[in-house]
Amino acid sequence: METRAPFAVIGGFVMAAIVAVFGFVYWLNNTGGLGPRATYHVQFEGSVPGLLVGAAVLFNGIRVGEVTDLGLAPENPRRVNATISVASATPVRSDTKVGLEFQGLTGVPVIALEGGASTVGSGPVSTLMAEPGAGQSMTQAARDALRRVDAVLAENAGPLKDTIANLKTFSDGLARNTGKLDGIVAGLEKLTGGGAPVQKVTYDLTAPRNPGPVNKTIKGQLAIPEPTAVAMLQTQRMLFSPAKEYPGFGDFLWADSIPKLLQSRLIDTFENYDVAHAPLRTSDIGQPEFQLLIDVRRFRIATDGGARVEIGLSARLVDKAGKVIASRLFDDSQQLVQVDPTDSVAAFDQAFGRVATSILTWTLQAL
């Protein structure tokens, strides 16, 4: 005789076991845990979007418990009451900060506790107050900020409109005066040394090519040192008396400083007369027998009493012992039709040609 299995009893036992397992798991994860627990009430001012029973409770980023209950405060419709169960060893004190954090890509909300001062007493605490706006998400904060911006723009619509109109008027004025502004900027660049460098125009003197027939040979070794001059004459600029700016001379430059230019062209003059016995620069020879010492007194354009160029030189011949053999002043001038670089250089050429020829003739007679 077969024994009939008690299927109803077996089925009931299996169902009870399943329910017990699920209940144990729920209790382990949400309510009791394996250690002693402490319960606290948390009050939120405002909404707590997405917070659910069973949500994690973190203390300084470490999970210490769960949310066991959520509800609205009957006495204040804006307040939300939550009950949390945390490990009893959690140092929850009266100054513990309470907030709501959103974790992960999905933004799962959790209650975040942050430890306060270590000197605060650790007596029993039953209720924790969350910080204002603790339940506000980043999205909600952005929306509130945009609402405030909209309100500010709405309140200042008139002044903003006037400001934009003024900017348009200003930009229209700039557009109408672009050429003038470009000129101002170019002038400032030139004044401060910025912008593209201005190309200077260089001018030179011409030595007399045929100062006279070769009727006397230059005796001995003659040298012409660099002429001396006051600091004002140590320049490549055109000098004026009285000092004044004239159009066309802003980019004017002599080929060298005035003393060095006169030294080179005087040597050229002697070479054009007798290249075999022409004088040299002092730096090119050791101890010359004679030196022609030149001092530049004037080399300028004078404009008082009629425009003219003026050249004034003093010359001394000395031997190797330093004895002065002869000395003389040489002055010359040339009238100018108009004060411009081309006519002025041509007048300097004529005056210098006469002075250089006179110095050559005087030197030949003195040696």
The string of DSSP letters for 73-139 reads -TT-TTEEEEEEEEETTS---TT-EEEEEEETTTTEEEEEEE---TTS------EEEPPTTTT--HH
What is the model's pLDDT at position 27? 58
Of residues 102 and 299, more confidently modeled: 299
Token pair 């050229």 is at which residue?
A: 268
Of residues 282 and 296, more confidently modeled: 296
Each residue of 122-174: pLDDT tens digit? 556 778 888 776 666 555 666 677 788 888 888 888 888 888 888 888 887 77
What is the model's pLDDT at position 256? 94
Contact 50, 16 (CB under 8 A): no
Residue 30 confidence (pLDDT) above 60: no
Contact 269, 231 (CB under 8 A): no
Residue 295 confidence (pLDDT) above 90: yes
What is the model's pLDDT at position 32? 47
Query: Taking the CB of residue 178, how many other CB atoms lie within 10 A of it?
Result: 9
Residue 29 confidence (pLDDT) above 60: no
Each residue of 221-236: pLDDT tens digit? 889 999 999 999 999 9
| Mean pLDDT (the chain, rounded) | 82
Each residue of 181-193: pLDDT tens digit? 777 777 777 666 6
How confident is residue 339, by pLDDT bands cut at 50, 70 and 90?
very high
Q: Among the CATH numbers 3.30.379, 3.40.50, 1.25.40, 2.40.30, which is that of 35-116+126-132? A: 2.40.30
What is the model's pLDDT at position 109? 85
What is the model's pLDDT at position 324? 93
Residue 291 confidence (pLDDT) above 50: yes
Residue 277 confidence (pLDDT) above 70: yes
Q: Return the CATH fold of 201-366.
A: Rossmann fold (3.40.50)
Question: 242 preceded by cis ω (within 30°)?
Answer: yes
Residue 4 confidence (pLDDT) above 70: no
What distance lies between CA 300 and its chain's CA centroid?
Answer: 44
Region 212-229: mean pLDDT is 82
**C-alpha to C-alpha distances, 206 to 59, 201, 265, nearest whole angstrom:** 97, 17, 7
Is 0.75 surpassed by the pTM of this model? no
Contact 137, 143 (CB under 8 A): no
Residue 77 confidence (pLDDT) above 90: no
What is the model's pLDDT at position 326? 93
In the chain, at which residue ranges do the beta strands (DSSP E only) sit?
37-45, 56-59, 62-72, 79-87, 97-103, 108-114, 127-129, 201-203, 222-223, 240-241, 252-254, 290-302, 308-319, 324-335
Of residues 1 and 85, more confidently modeled: 85
> Could you give the CA distance from residue 104 to residue 100 in angstroms, rounded to a whole number?
14
Domains of the chain by residue range:
35-116+126-132, 201-366
